[in-house]
Each structure stands twice: as structure tokens, then as C-alpha cells.
Amino acid sequence: MAASRRRPVPGAVERPDSRDLGPEAELASNLVGTLFPEGTSFGTADAIALWTHSGTLLERIEEETLRKTIESLVHPKLLVAIERAHAWLGEAIGVEGDQVELPGRRALLDAVSRFSFAISAYARALSIGIDETTDEAFEQFKRALAPIDPMRVAGKPGASEELDEDEEPTEPTEPDPDAPFVPASDDPIDNPFIT
């Protein structure tokens, strides 16, 4: 009668007959059964799951005082390398190591406000000594403000809304008195004054 063959379980660690591998084989086999009862398929999971599972394994090794046993079977530097790789993975996915401190919610608004104040202070300082009666002084004042003028006009750098030479400025038109009356919407999305 032929020996029955077991089907391999995906991710399971196959345990060879310990008699073929030497005196430490039984100890190693028991250790593998303790730490990896479901195999090593966790290594194919996403980075967060891998970091979590490997962290749990490292904690078990410490709690169950398995470090000396493992170091008697493999080189002691192997566990140090595994711990270092676990820490690097934690840093890479952002769950361990130096945390990036995010600015407060109002930090950008505060910075923009301080910048706007500085621009205003600069313009006021330039305008204090201007002689409004001469065109030359006024042109010098405009040249001094030219680098920040696009920000004043459009609110962002590089987006000047100056009129072309050929374009005439458009005057606001009066509402047509004969146009039909359209009441404001009662929908709070269309009319923010409705609550």
C-alpha cells in the first residue's frame, strides 16, 4: 500500500522529519509551530497588516522569552535585523518613528494674514513720503509697488488682471425695469440667507 501524501496548505511551513536535520531540529520545529501556526502567508499581506503581525510576533518572542532559544538556532544578528526592518517598515508607513507635526487648522490663514499685513505696511511706508503733486514721485511709487501689484489685483502671484490697451472698461449696467421679477429661492443651498 502506498504512503498517503498530504496536500500542502498554502502558506504553511512544511515540517520535515526532525531526525534528518540534527539535534536542534525538534526544537526548531516546535518553535515554528508556536510562532507560525498558520504559516508565513502574512508576509504577502499589505504593509500595515505585515507591520502589525510582525510586531505581534516580536512581542510574543519577548513575552514568552523565546529570544535565547531563537538565538541558539540562528545567528543573534538575525533578530536584530528583523527588529530593524520592522522599525523601518513602521517609519515608511507612518506608524512609528518621528511623527510629522502638522500645522494647526488656522496656520495657513494666520500666515497669509501676516503676509498681507506686511505688504500693507510696506505700501504705507512708501506712501508716507510721496509728493502727490508731481507725476515723477507717483510713477516711482507705482514702480516700487509693481512686484506686489499682481497680488493686490488678483489675490495671487502671477495672475494680473490688467486690461489690454485696446479693451475699454465695462461699466456696470442698470437692471432692466421691464424684466420679470424672479423671487429668491427658498432652498438653503441656493440662498444662504434662508436658515
Domain ranges of the chain: 18-93, 107-154
- Residue 159 predicted with pLDDT over 50: no
Rounded mean pLDDT of the chain? 76
- Residue 13 predicted with pLDDT over 60: no
User: Residue 165 — very low, low, confident or very high, per pLDDT cuts 50/70/90?
Assistant: low
- Which of 148, 79, 76, 154 has its CA nearest to residue 118? 148
pLDDT of 16: 56
Provide mean pLDDT across the span 62-87: 89
Structure pTM? 0.42
End-to-end CA distance of the chain: give it in Å, rounded.
86
pLDDT of 141: 82
- Which of 3, 32, 4, 37 has its CA nearest to residue 16? 32
User: Residue 1 — very low, low, confident or very high, per pLDDT cuts 50/70/90?
Assistant: very low
Provide mean pLDDT across the span 160-181: 63
- Percent of the chain whose predicted confidence (pLDDT) is above 70: 67
The C-alpha atoms of residue 85 and residue 79 are separated, in whole angstroms, by 10
Cα 182 to Cα 186, 187, 189, 191: the distances in Å are 12, 14, 17, 13
- 125-135 burial string, b = 16+ CB within 10 Å, else e? eeeeeeeeeee
In the numeric block, the cell 519577548 is attached to 62
The C-alpha atoms of residue 125 and residue 123 are separated, in whole angstroms, by 5
The pLDDT tens digits of the residues spanning 103-158 come to 777 888 888 888 888 888 888 887 887 777 888 888 888 888 887 777 665 555 44
pLDDT of 160: 47
The pLDDT tens digits of the residues spanning 36-74 come to 888 888 888 888 888 898 899 999 999 999 899 888 888
pLDDT of 110: 85
